[in-house]
Structure 1
Amino acid sequence: MEARFIISIWLFIHVGAALGDSVQSREPHLSGREGDAVTLTCSYDTSSTGYVYLYWYRQFPNQAPQYILFRGVKEARDESNTADFAKERFSSQATDSSTVLSITALELADTAVYYCALDVTQ
């Protein structure tokens, strides 16, 4: 029998974001089966032309958020980092208006709340 589980995505804006910056989810809740691939998408808007960073975290019940990765855009477009646990199955792309988190070979243990965060540094 195939296991089916839900991956939830909720969003927050990091305290470094400027007034008027925003982040939105394109799919607040996703579900998938073990072995599937899913893509979570966040759209964002910022007036900054400087260093913009888009972070992904996940949170399991009764635990602190866990860092997954970040991608830089605009002036920071060459910067990125991925947590060791995420290097094989998690990846991200970012543009000047959105970021995606791709998860391959879904596992039941991937069930969590996923957060997208925007950080702006002048």
Structure 2
Amino acid sequence: MDIRRERRRRAVEIDIHSLRLYIRRYVREHAIGLFEVLNALAMKRFGKDVVSLLLTEPNRLYELVLEYYSSREAALFTISRLFIRPLVIKLGILEREDELVEAAINNPKKFVEILREHGLEVGV
């Protein structure tokens, strides 16, 4: 079995609910209180929870974090290390982390396409 097929098989085994819980738990463990603040802001501004924004409109999540911190470096770190890192860990695609960060900020359609390549049905 080739590597791509094996990765796809693993991704399919990960249901979206367990992935959402894993991301939520990861953010809460690494930045106490931040998840709740960002989640409240996301619900107020977009009518979606923060994990839904990550999986469907990651550029909006980046904008929200950028507005919260008023610092591109802090926003990039938060998106990369607190939101996308647990996603790539759970999917077993660490080698695509930088690509996903870039796509999340600049090309959300590509971000969703990459997740779909790995068996996740996400997107608007």
**Normalising to structure 2: TM-score of the pair?**
0.34
Between Structure 1 and Structure 2, which shows a larger proportion of strand residues?
1
Between Structure 1 and Structure 2, which shows a larger proportion of helix residues?
2
Structure with greater contact order relative to length (CA < 8 Å, sep ≥ 6): 1
